[in-house]
């Protein structure tokens, strides 16, 4: 009892130290009435609670039913459920649905983490071995959730730097909420030091997490029935995700690409404002781009956070790239890859997107246009032109996509036409 109480108090202290996450602005497709993901919700889904699955390689504290995870790296992966809800006590489903389908209001409800429930621990050395009973129970739970979900894909969210379990799971829960609770979402919470002043520690821990994350993706492919495993890597989450995917390709050796693709079942891999060394990112991308259904790089070339990260590293970031850092061969490969259906570059331009700050780093959830595009891509596996984006050609011949000034009306027309065709 004392251990559980102590863990609970520690949880409150840790969460209190992190900035509150408020429900992101309603995606424009929902506020314009083009889609209503909540229309067919059963009574059981009419709830302000939005649980998400989690996996973390952080050292734990406390009892399994009330876990707290530190900023220190562990060799094991801890699997469980993060219990989140939207709004304070007294905030009900009727209010939440109105906010989630209407225009953005001045005050958004906060996301609250009620607790973490750990189901299983998988040691690094056991990741490819026979699962324990607890681990089997976790993956069986994932499969049960997938069987009950309209969306048969599994979404894996990999957070950025300066993020604790609360912030990471809250961002993942926001995505799940705006799918109408119809997607199964898992947050991979690597051990961020949770402070801008300890960014160097985050870089170190991200690098140490790469082999663990790679093995975990293999586990998801082996032990779940997910139609596709989608990955949304935000900011420094790309320092975990991109090299891990390259490692998966390298570890397959001479295994044919098509065989590896079928085995891993990677769907959409989306890098939002990736904080990864640009040249290293391109080197990794060359090795795994053919493994997934599509790789997307979404970038704001005026990103303030990545400008600071560039000063720390001394080289440009993938989300704010400098082509002059590449060799002639690397540049040519990247330009040609941008024309391939498996790789899309999206320039998120504040000059044409309303209410997007010039230096925005969190655009994937901060802006209603961008969040709409993210949702449609993952839920429908739709390509940029099908989502209303406009194709452009760069000075050196590469292809990139942008949001047109009339995107809000264009996407509504596309979605309504798609609905009529069904």
Q: CA–CA separation, 389 vs 57, rounded Å?
A: 37
Q: For the chain, which residues make up each domain, given as ranges?
A: 2-421
pLDDT in tens, the chain (422 residues): 333 444 444 444 444 457 899 999 999 999 998 889 998 766 666 889 999 999 999 999 888 777 889 999 999 999 999 999 999 999 999 999 999 998 666 789 999 999 999 999 998 766 656 688 899 999 999 999 999 999 999 999 999 999 999 999 999 999 999 999 999 999 999 999 988 889 999 999 999 999 999 999 999 999 999 999 999 999 999 999 999 999 999 999 999 999 999 999 999 999 999 999 999 999 999 999 999 999 999 999 999 999 999 999 999 999 999 999 999 999 999 999 999 999 999 999 999 999 999 999 999 999 999 999 999 999 999 999 999 999 999 988 899 999 999 999 999 999 988 877 76
Residue 33, both tokens: 């009435």
Q: List C-alpha distances in Å: 247 to 218, 251, 284.
A: 11, 6, 8
Q: Is the dihedral of CA 363, 365, 366, 371 positive or negative?
A: positive
Q: How many angstroms separate the Cα of 70 from the Cα of each of 125, 138, 157, 167, 239?
A: 22, 22, 19, 14, 20
First to last CA, the chain: 55
Dist CA 422 CA 420 (whole Å) = 5
Q: What is the pLDDT of residue 3?
A: 39
Burial 380-396 (b: 16+ CB within 10 A, else e): ebbebeebbbbeeeeee
Q: What is the CA radius of gyration of the chain?
A: 20
Cβ atoms of 26 and 101 closer than 8 Å: yes
Q: In angstroms, rounded to a whole number, what is the distance separating the alpha carbons of residues 186 and 296?
A: 20
Q: Is 322 left (phi over 0), alpha (psi -120 to 50) or beta?
A: beta
Which residues contact residue 167 at a Cβ distance below 8 angstroms, ignoring those fewer than 6 apart? Answer: 18, 19, 21, 159
Asked if 208 contacts 243 with a C-beta cutoff of 8 angstroms, the reply is no
- pLDDT for the residue numbered 7: 45
Sheet holding 184-189: strands in order across? 111-122, 68-86, 52-61, 184-189, 154-158, 229-234, 266-272, 294-299, 343-347, 399-402, 390-393
Question: What's the burial of 82, exposed, middle or buried (CB within 10 Å: 0-12/13-18/19+)?
Answer: buried
CA dist 305 and 326 (Å) reads 22
Q: Are strands 184-189 and 294-299 parallel, antiparallel or unpaired?
A: unpaired
Classify burial at 124, counting beta carbons within 10 Å of its beta carbon; exposed 0-12, middle 13-18, buried 19 or more.
middle
Q: What are the two backbone dihedrals, phi and then psi, of residue 322, each rounded to the nearest 5 degrees?
A: -125, 105
Q: Which residues of 161-185 are buried (b: 16+ CB within 10 A; e: fewer)?
A: bbbbbbbbbbbbbbbbbbbbbbbbb
Runs of H (alpha helix) within 318-406? 328-337, 363-366, 368-380
Q: Which residues contact 87 (CB under 8 A, 6 or more apart)?
A: 48, 95, 96, 109, 110, 112
Residue-level pLDDT at 97:
93
Cα separations in angstroms, 162 against 19, 194, 195, 311, 352: 11, 4, 5, 17, 29
Query: Would you give the distance in Å from CA 278 to the centre of its chain?
Result: 20
Sign of CA dihedral 204, 175, 82, 109: positive
Contact between 315 and 279 (Cβ < 8 Å): yes
Q: Are strands 399-402 and 266-272 parallel, antiparallel or unpaired?
A: unpaired
Its pTM stands at 0.94
Report helix angle 328-337 to 278-288, nearest 10. Answer: 60
Q: Is 422 exposed, middle or buried (0-12, 13-18, 19+ CB in 10 A)?
A: exposed
């Amino acid at each position: 009892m004392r251990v559980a109480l102590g863990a609970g108090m520690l949880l409150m202290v840790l969460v209190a130290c992190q900035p509150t996450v408020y429900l992101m602005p309603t995606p424009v497709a929902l506020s314009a009435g083009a889609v209503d993901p909540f229309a067919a919700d059963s009574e059981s889904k009419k709830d302000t609670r939005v649980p998400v699955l989690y996996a973390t390689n952080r050292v734990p504290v406390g009892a399994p039913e009330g876990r707290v995870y530190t900023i220190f790296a562990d060799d094991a992966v801890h699997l469980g459920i993060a219990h989140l809800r939207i709004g304070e006590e007294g905030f009900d489903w009727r209010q939440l649905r109105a906010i989630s389908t209407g225009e953005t209001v001045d005050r958004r409800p906060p996301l609250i983490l009620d607790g973490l429930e750990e189901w299983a621990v998988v040691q690094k050395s056991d990741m490819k071995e026979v699962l324990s009973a607890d681990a089997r129970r976790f993956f069986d739970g994932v499969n049960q959730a997938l069987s009950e979900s309209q969306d048969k894909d599994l979404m894996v969210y990999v957070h950025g730097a300066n993020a604790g379990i609360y912030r990471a799971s809250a961002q993942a829960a926001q995505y799940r909420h705006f799918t109408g609770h119809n997607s199964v979402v898992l947050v991979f919470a690597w051990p961020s030091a949770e402070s801008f002043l300890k960014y160097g520690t985050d870089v170190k821990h991200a690098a140490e997490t790469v082999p663990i994350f790679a093995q975990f993706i293999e586990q998801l492919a082996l032990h779940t029935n997910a139609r596709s495993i989608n990955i949304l890597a935000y900011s420094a989450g790309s320092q975990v995700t991109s090299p891990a995917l390259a490692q998966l390709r390298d570890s397959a050796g001479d295994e044919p690409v098509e065989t590896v693709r079928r085995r891993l079942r990677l769907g959409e891999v989306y890098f939002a404002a990736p904080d990864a060394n640009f040249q290293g990112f391109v080197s990794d991308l060359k090795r795994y781009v053919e493994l997934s259904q599509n790789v997307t790089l979404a970038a704001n070339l005026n990103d303030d956070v990545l400008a600071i990260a560039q000063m720390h590293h001394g080289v440009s970031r993938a989300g704010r790239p400098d082509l002059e850092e590449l060799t002639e061969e690397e540049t040519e490969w990247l330009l040609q890859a941008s024309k391939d259906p498996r790789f899309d570059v999206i320039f998120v331009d504040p000059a044409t997107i309303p209410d997007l700050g010039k230096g925005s780093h969190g655009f994937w959830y901060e802006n209603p246009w961008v969040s709409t595009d993210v949702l449609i891509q993952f839920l429908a596996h739709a390509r940029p032109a099908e989502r209303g984006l406009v194709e452009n050609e760069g000075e050196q011949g590469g292809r990139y996509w942008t949001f047109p000034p009339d995107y809000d009306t264009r996407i509504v027309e596309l979605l309504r036409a798609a609905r009529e065709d069904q």
